[in-house]
Amino acid sequence: MMEIKQCRVAIVGATGAVGQEMLKDLEKRDFPLTELRLLASKRSAGKKILFRGAEIEVEEATPDAFSNVDIALFSAGGETSKRLAPEAVKRGAVVIDNSSAYRMDPDVPLVVPEVNPEAVKQHKGIIANPNCSTIQMTVALKPLVDRYGVERVIVSTYQAVSGSGWKAVEELRSQSQSVLQGEEPTLEVMPVGKLDQHYQIAFNVIPQCDVLAEDEYTFEEIKMVRETKKIFADDSIGVTATCVRVPVERGHSESIYVELKDDYELDEVRRLLKDGAGVILDDELGAQRYPMPLATTGRPEVFVGRLRKDLHHPRALNMWVVSDNLLKGAATNTVQIAELLLR
Ligand code: A2P
Instruction: Say if 2 falls within a structural domain.
Output: no
At 259, which CATH number?
3.30.360.10
Same domain, 205 and 170: yes
Same domain, 146 and 270: yes
Instruction: Say if 74 falls within a structural domain.
Output: yes
Same domain, 117 and 256: no
Ligand 1, atom 22: closest residue by C-alpha: 41
Q: Is the CB of 81 under 6 A from ligand 1?
A: no
Instruction: Say if 3 falls within a structural domain.
Output: no
Same domain, 102 and 224: no
Same domain, 76 and 205: no
Same domain, 103 and 237: no
Same domain, 167 and 288: yes
Q: Is the CB of 164 under 6 A from ligand 1?
A: no
Instruction: Say if 211 falls within a structural domain.
Output: yes
Q: In angstroms, what is the span from residue 200 Cα to ligand 1's centroid?
A: 24
Instruction: Say if 163 falls within a structural domain.
Output: yes
Same domain, 335 and 317: no
295/301 Cα distance (integer angstroms): 12
Q: In angstroms, what is the span from residue 227 Cα to ligand 1's centroid?
A: 24
Neighbours of 7 (CB within 10 A): 17
20, 39, 74, 80: which to mutate for ligand 1, most atoms within 8 A of CB? 80
At 12, which CATH number?
3.40.50.720
Residue count of the chain, please give it: 343
Looking at ligand 1, which atom is closest to the CA of residue 14? 14
Q: How many domains does the chain have?
A: 2
Instruction: Say if 258 falls within a structural domain.
Output: yes
Same domain, 106 and 148: no
Q: Which residues contact 99 (CB under 8 A, 6 or more apart)?
A: 74, 75, 76, 77, 78, 80, 81
Residue pLDDT tens, the chain, 343 long: 566 666 999 999 999 999 999 999 999 999 999 999 999 999 999 999 999 999 999 999 999 999 999 999 999 999 999 999 999 999 999 999 999 999 999 999 999 999 999 999 999 999 999 999 999 999 999 999 999 999 999 999 999 999 999 999 999 999 999 999 999 999 999 999 889 999 999 999 999 999 999 999 999 999 999 999 999 999 999 999 999 999 999 999 999 999 999 999 999 999 999 999 999 999 999 999 999 999 999 999 999 999 999 999 999 999 999 999 999 999 999 999 999 999 8
Same domain, 108 and 228: no
Instruction: Say if 1 falls within a structural domain.
Output: no
At position 1, the amino acid (one-letter code) is: M
pTM here? 0.97
20, 37, 41, 132: which to mutate for ligand 1, most atoms within 8 A of CB? 41
Instruction: Give Cα separations from 172 to 167, 195, 320 (angstroms).
Output: 9, 20, 24
Same domain, 96 and 243: no
At position 195, the amino acid (one-letter code) is: L
Q: Is the CB of 19 under 6 A from ligand 1?
A: yes
Instruction: Say if 21 falls within a structural domain.
Output: yes
Q: Could you tell me the residue range of the domain that residue 64 belongs to?
A: 8-129+330-342
Same domain, 78 and 143: no
176/185 Cα distance (integer angstroms): 8
